[in-house]
Amino acid sequence: MSTALHEAGLDPFWMPFTANKQFKRRPRMLAGAKGMFYTSADGREVLDGTAGLWCVGAGHGRDEITQAVSRQLAEMDYAPGFQMGHPLAFEYADELIKHTPEHLNHVFFTNSGSESVDTALKIALAYHRSRGEGQRTRFIGREKGYHGVGFGGISVGGIANNRRTFGAWLPADHLPHTLDLEHNAFSKGVPAWGAHLADELEDIVALHGADTIAGVIVEPVAGSAGVILPPRGYLQRLREICDKHGLLLIFDEVITGFGRLGAPFAADYFGVEPDLITAAKMITNAAVPMGAVFVRDSIYQSVVEQGPESIELFHGYTYSAHPVACAAGMATLEIYRREGLFTRAAEMAEVWQDALHGLRDCPHVKDIRNLGLMGAVELEPRPGAAGARAYEALADAFEHGLLIRFTGDIIAFSPPLIVEREHIERLVGTLSEVLGRIA
């Protein structure tokens, strides 16, 4: 820890999604990053098992992105996006849609996954209103779903603490989640059981009436809740039911987008084309905050091309399509293309799966699940202290050179897409030792 930081103290910074008092008693500080590794404030090498926060796909410290950002700052640091534009925003959008599903050819830029979700919900409402169905205002989310921290995202999300603390501000119902360890424990890849859970959507439609429902939003793979996988055929069934009742299907791909599963998007991996895709995180390799919503052509045409000769969507952000973020995104996209990172997770998936499931006999392990370069190790909770074991694993792993994430008693992994076999072996070996030390 630097002298300046020590003198200033840790108290002024109110940390997000952190037990502040607990952290500040024993802070874990990162001071540098390159490739697959962070450097801790005390000079130790720390293997990044989480791609930062699911977001550093191409590895840390990419010179190409640094140079692109520097050039753009020197040329033009900012341009307003309301009634004005800059060429790079249009060029970047045109490059992005070369990698989106066939009919999603329009991009609305945001600054985060939370903003992307709220934007997608607004676009869905605007679409139905443009078709004379403004009464379609209800959304269907899913239990354990995480859709960011905006009031819209919290409403459709299914994370109990978020909803309990802040309430729901949009009318929303929730499908059951798809994690059932009685049927799916230690699944390797997509589990075989559970596609029928999508049929719960029919019951919700029957309860409220299809003509009141705007759309359904799900993460193809629920990342923040602990890598919860969709059963085989589940997403296809959701698509069928949405088509039957005129509901929009929104895939929240803030985590799965840009190669996490071994395809540009989870929509490609599962062969299911939604109506909107929310994205962020790996879109700029986390170098500059940015997000996006990819929109089906028919939705754009209904809202914009058939709309009045005035503002069609009263929505946007001061930093939408920020020039520096666009520069970072363009450089990131070129790295993904050149190094084959959109599909690298597919190439490493078997190595990753075999290594991760090798932890099955470690102490306290209740379940292991994986897909692409995502994975989770779920621990038996300590009696009377839910989440304690996973937190202790996080702290111990960091001290022994490994960065992991946890939610409840689930340890989650999402290494950078540049991960090699030796990194995976080191990650699994370190975690095995960590689990052996936890009571």
What's the pLDDT at 308?
A: 80
DSSP classification of residue 229: P
Q: What distances in angstroms separate CA 385 from CA 175, 390, 409, one per listed residue? A: 28, 11, 10
pLDDT, tens digit (0-9, with 9 covering 90-100), for 82-137: 999 999 999 999 999 999 999 999 999 999 999 999 999 999 999 999 999 999 99
CA distance 82 to 332: 25
Average pLDDT on 30-34 reads 98
Residue 239 reports pLDDT greater than 50: yes
The pLDDT value recorded for residue 161 is 83
d(CA 253, CA 429): 30
> What are the tokens at 374?
């995502």
The least confident of 45-59, 163-177, 183-197, 317-331 is: 163-177
Domains of the chain (ranges; CATH) run 3-57+341-437 (3.90.1150.10), 66-339 (3.40.640.10)
Q: 106 by DSSP, 3-state: which?
A: strand
Residue 7 has pLDDT above 50, yes or no: no
Q: What is the pLDDT of residue 309?
A: 85
Output the CA–CA distances (angstroms, integers) from residue 159 to 64, 224, 434, in the order listed.
Answer: 37, 9, 28
Helix/strand/coil (H/E/C) assignment for every residue in 175-224: ECCCCCHHHHCCCECCCCCCHHHHHHHHHHHHHHCHHHEEEEEECCCECC
Average pLDDT of the chain is: 96
* Tens-digit pLDDT profile for residues 270-320: 999 999 999 999 999 999 999 999 999 999 999 998 878 899 999 999 999
Query: Is it the case that residue 8 has pLDDT exceeding 80?
Result: no
Alpha-carbon distance 356 to 186, whole Å?
Answer: 10
> Rounded to the nearest 10 degrees, what angle do helices 200-208 and 234-245 cross at?
20
pLDDT number for residue 99? 98
In three-state secondary structure terms, 109 is strand
How far is residue 129's CA from residue 314's CA, in Å, rounded to a whole number? 13
Instruction: Note the maximum CA span of the chain.
Output: 66
The span from the CA of 206 to the CA of 245, in Å, is 10
| CA separation for the pair 67, 83 (Å, rounded) | 29
| Angle of CA points 146, 150, 155, to nearest 5° | 60
Residue 359 has pLDDT above 50, yes or no: yes
What does the pLDDT read at residue 6? 55
Quote the percentage of the chain above a pLDDT of 70.
98
Average pLDDT over residues 232-256: 98
Q: Nearest to residue 330, comparing CAs of 156, 93, 31?
A: 93
Give pLDDT, residue 1. Answer: 47
The torsion region of residue 83 among left (phi > 0), alpha (psi -120 to 50) and beta comes to left
Q: What is the pLDDT of residues 35-85, one digit of tens each?
A: 999 999 999 999 999 999 999 999 999 999 999 999 999 999 999 999 999
Query: Which residues, 6+ apart, have CB-to-CB distance to 112 below 8 Å?
Result: 148, 280, 289, 290, 291
The residues, ordered by sequence, that sit 6+ positions from 253 with a Cβ below 8 Å of its Cβ are 219, 220, 265, 266, 267, 277, 278, 279
Segment holding 431, helix H or strand E: helix 421-437
- Check residue 3 and give its pLDDT: 42
CA dist 343 and 360 (Å) reads 27
User: What confidence tens digit (pLDDT) does each residue in 380-408 have?
Assistant: 999 999 999 999 999 999 999 999 999 99
d(C-alpha 175, C-alpha 179), whole Å = 12
